[in-house]
Amino acid sequence: MTLLPTLTGVGRLTADPELRFTQSQKAVASISLAFNSRRLNKQTNQWEDGDTFFIRGTVWERLAENAAETLAKGMEVLVTGEVRTESWEKDGQKYERPALLIRSIAPNLAFAIAQVSKDAAGQQNSQGGQRGAQPQQGQQQRRSGPPPQDDPWAVDAAKGYSDEPPF
Protein backbone atom coordinates (compact mmCIF):
# COMPACT_ATOMS: atom_id res chain seq x y z
CA MET A 1 0.00 0.00 0.00
CA THR A 2 1.36 3.41 -0.98
CA LEU A 3 1.07 6.12 1.62
CA LEU A 4 0.29 9.52 0.19
CA PRO A 5 1.52 12.70 1.86
CA THR A 6 -1.07 14.45 4.00
CA LEU A 7 -1.46 18.19 3.77
CA THR A 8 -2.97 20.16 6.63
CA GLY A 9 -3.01 23.89 6.26
CA VAL A 10 -4.74 27.21 6.02
CA GLY A 11 -5.63 28.30 2.51
CA ARG A 12 -8.01 30.56 0.65
CA LEU A 13 -10.69 29.55 -1.87
CA THR A 14 -9.94 31.03 -5.29
CA ALA A 15 -13.44 30.22 -6.59
CA ASP A 16 -16.80 29.01 -5.31
CA PRO A 17 -16.95 25.21 -4.89
CA GLU A 18 -18.28 23.52 -8.06
CA LEU A 19 -20.83 20.84 -7.09
CA ARG A 20 -21.86 18.13 -9.54
CA PHE A 21 -23.17 14.57 -9.37
CA THR A 22 -21.85 11.34 -10.87
CA GLN A 23 -24.08 9.03 -12.89
CA SER A 24 -24.64 7.02 -9.71
CA GLN A 25 -25.84 10.25 -7.97
CA LYS A 26 -22.77 10.66 -5.74
CA ALA A 27 -22.01 14.30 -5.00
CA VAL A 28 -18.54 15.58 -5.85
CA ALA A 29 -17.24 19.12 -5.57
CA SER A 30 -14.09 20.73 -6.90
CA ILE A 31 -12.48 23.31 -4.65
CA SER A 32 -9.64 25.54 -5.86
CA LEU A 33 -7.25 26.59 -3.10
CA ALA A 34 -4.28 28.90 -2.73
CA PHE A 35 -1.75 28.55 0.08
CA ASN A 36 0.74 31.36 0.60
CA SER A 37 3.28 32.35 3.15
CA ARG A 38 3.29 35.77 4.77
CA ARG A 39 6.24 37.16 6.61
CA LEU A 40 6.71 40.25 8.71
CA ASN A 41 9.52 42.32 7.25
CA LYS A 42 11.22 43.58 10.39
CA GLN A 43 12.90 46.45 8.55
CA THR A 44 9.66 47.95 7.20
CA ASN A 45 7.35 46.42 9.82
CA GLN A 46 5.02 45.40 6.95
CA TRP A 47 3.61 42.00 6.03
CA GLU A 48 4.89 40.61 2.72
CA ASP A 49 3.44 37.76 0.68
CA GLY A 50 5.80 34.95 -0.20
CA ASP A 51 5.38 32.12 -2.69
CA THR A 52 1.89 30.86 -3.49
CA PHE A 53 0.94 27.21 -4.01
CA PHE A 54 -2.27 26.61 -5.99
CA ILE A 55 -4.00 23.24 -5.82
CA ARG A 56 -7.36 21.85 -6.89
CA GLY A 57 -9.13 19.82 -4.23
CA THR A 58 -11.92 17.28 -4.50
CA VAL A 59 -14.54 16.42 -1.87
CA TRP A 60 -17.11 13.65 -2.09
CA GLU A 61 -20.62 12.80 -0.96
CA ARG A 62 -22.11 14.70 2.00
CA LEU A 63 -18.92 16.69 2.60
CA ALA A 64 -19.14 17.93 -1.00
CA GLU A 65 -22.74 19.08 -0.54
CA ASN A 66 -21.98 20.77 2.79
CA ALA A 67 -18.88 22.50 1.40
CA ALA A 68 -20.78 23.79 -1.64
CA GLU A 69 -23.53 25.16 0.60
CA THR A 70 -21.19 26.68 3.19
CA LEU A 71 -18.02 27.91 1.47
CA ALA A 72 -17.47 30.72 -1.04
CA LYS A 73 -14.68 32.34 -3.02
CA GLY A 74 -12.25 34.31 -0.88
CA MET A 75 -12.93 32.45 2.38
CA GLU A 76 -9.97 31.32 4.43
CA VAL A 77 -10.32 27.63 5.29
CA LEU A 78 -8.61 24.96 7.34
CA VAL A 79 -8.15 21.89 5.18
CA THR A 80 -6.74 18.36 5.51
CA GLY A 81 -6.31 15.81 2.75
CA GLU A 82 -4.00 13.56 0.76
CA VAL A 83 -1.84 15.02 -1.98
CA ARG A 84 -2.09 13.10 -5.26
CA THR A 85 -1.01 13.57 -8.83
CA GLU A 86 -3.70 14.06 -11.50
CA SER A 87 -2.63 13.11 -15.00
CA TRP A 88 -4.40 13.45 -18.34
CA GLU A 89 -3.70 13.58 -22.02
CA LYS A 90 -4.84 16.30 -24.40
CA ASP A 91 -3.96 16.57 -28.07
CA GLY A 92 -1.35 13.84 -27.64
CA GLN A 93 0.41 15.76 -24.85
CA LYS A 94 0.60 14.33 -21.32
CA TYR A 95 -0.02 16.68 -18.38
CA GLU A 96 0.28 16.29 -14.61
CA ARG A 97 -0.53 18.49 -11.64
CA PRO A 98 -0.86 18.07 -7.89
CA ALA A 99 -4.36 17.48 -6.54
CA LEU A 100 -5.81 17.21 -3.05
CA LEU A 101 -8.33 14.60 -1.91
CA ILE A 102 -9.93 16.64 0.87
CA ARG A 103 -10.93 14.75 4.03
CA SER A 104 -12.01 17.79 6.06
CA ILE A 105 -12.52 21.47 5.34
CA ALA A 106 -13.93 24.30 7.44
CA PRO A 107 -13.97 28.09 7.52
CA ASN A 108 -11.25 29.71 9.62
CA LEU A 109 -13.09 31.24 12.56
CA ALA A 110 -10.39 33.88 12.93
CA PHE A 111 -11.98 35.61 9.93
CA ALA A 112 -15.57 34.34 9.84
CA ILE A 113 -18.49 33.58 12.10
CA ALA A 114 -20.04 30.17 11.56
CA GLN A 115 -23.38 28.94 12.75
CA VAL A 116 -22.94 25.19 13.18
CA SER A 117 -25.81 22.73 13.04
CA LYS A 118 -25.85 18.96 12.93
CA ASP A 119 -26.35 17.48 9.50
CA ALA A 120 -29.01 14.83 10.16
CA ALA A 121 -28.69 13.26 6.70
CA GLY A 122 -24.92 13.06 7.05
CA GLN A 123 -25.20 11.46 10.50
CA GLN A 124 -27.51 8.74 9.27
CA ASN A 125 -25.20 7.55 6.52
CA SER A 126 -21.78 9.00 7.45
CA GLN A 127 -20.82 10.85 4.26
CA GLY A 128 -23.42 9.05 2.17
CA GLY A 129 -26.53 10.95 3.24
CA GLN A 130 -29.45 11.57 0.93
CA ARG A 131 -29.64 14.82 -1.01
CA GLY A 132 -32.32 17.26 0.04
CA ALA A 133 -32.85 15.64 3.44
CA GLN A 134 -32.26 18.87 5.33
CA PRO A 135 -34.88 20.13 7.76
CA GLN A 136 -36.72 23.31 6.93
CA GLN A 137 -35.85 26.41 8.94
CA GLY A 138 -37.36 26.35 12.41
CA GLN A 139 -38.11 22.64 12.18
CA GLN A 140 -36.02 19.98 13.90
CA GLN A 141 -35.44 16.67 12.23
CA ARG A 142 -35.50 13.64 14.53
CA ARG A 143 -34.02 10.24 13.87
CA SER A 144 -35.85 7.15 14.96
CA GLY A 145 -34.15 5.07 17.62
CA PRO A 146 -31.75 6.04 20.38
CA PRO A 147 -28.83 8.40 19.74
CA PRO A 148 -25.40 6.84 19.28
CA GLN A 149 -23.74 6.00 22.61
CA ASP A 150 -20.60 7.91 21.71
CA ASP A 151 -22.44 11.16 20.81
CA PRO A 152 -21.87 13.53 23.75
CA TRP A 153 -24.24 16.10 22.20
CA ALA A 154 -27.17 13.71 21.96
CA VAL A 155 -30.27 14.65 23.93
CA ASP A 156 -32.51 11.97 25.36
CA ALA A 157 -35.39 13.58 27.27
CA ALA A 158 -36.49 10.21 28.72
CA LYS A 159 -33.14 9.73 30.44
CA GLY A 160 -32.80 13.37 31.47
CA TYR A 161 -29.83 14.46 29.34
CA SER A 162 -29.57 18.21 29.03
CA ASP A 163 -28.94 20.49 26.09
CA GLU A 164 -25.76 21.75 27.71
CA PRO A 165 -22.43 21.02 26.03
CA PRO A 166 -20.47 18.11 27.58
CA PHE A 167 -17.66 20.36 28.85
For the segment 76-135, what is each residue's pLDDT rounded down to a tens digit?
A: 999 999 999 989 899 999 999 999 999 999 998 888 787 777 766 655 544 444 444 343
Residue 158 covered by a domain: no
Q: Angle at the Cα of 75 (from 102 to 105), degrees rounded to 5? A: 20
For the segment 10-63, what is each residue's pLDDT rounded down to a tens digit?
A: 999 999 999 999 999 999 999 999 998 888 888 998 888 888 999 999 999 999
List of residues 6+ apart from 85 with CB closer than 8 A: 96, 97, 98, 99
Q: Which domain holds residue 98?
A: 6-134
**What is d(CA 61, CA 66) in angstroms, rounded to the nearest whole number?**
9
Residue 57 covered by a domain: yes
**What is d(CA 31, CA 164) in angstroms, rounded to the nearest whole number?**
35
Residue 153 covered by a domain: no
Helix/strand/coil (H/E/C) assignment for every residue in 51-85 = EEEEEEEEEEHHHHHHHHHHCCCCCEEEEEEEEEE
Residue 17 covered by a domain: yes
Residue 145 covered by a domain: no
Q: Do residues 132 and 62 make contact, with C-beta atoms less than 8 angstroms apart?
A: no
The tally of domains found in the chain comes to: 1
Residue 151 covered by a domain: no
CATH of the domain at 124: 2.40.50.140
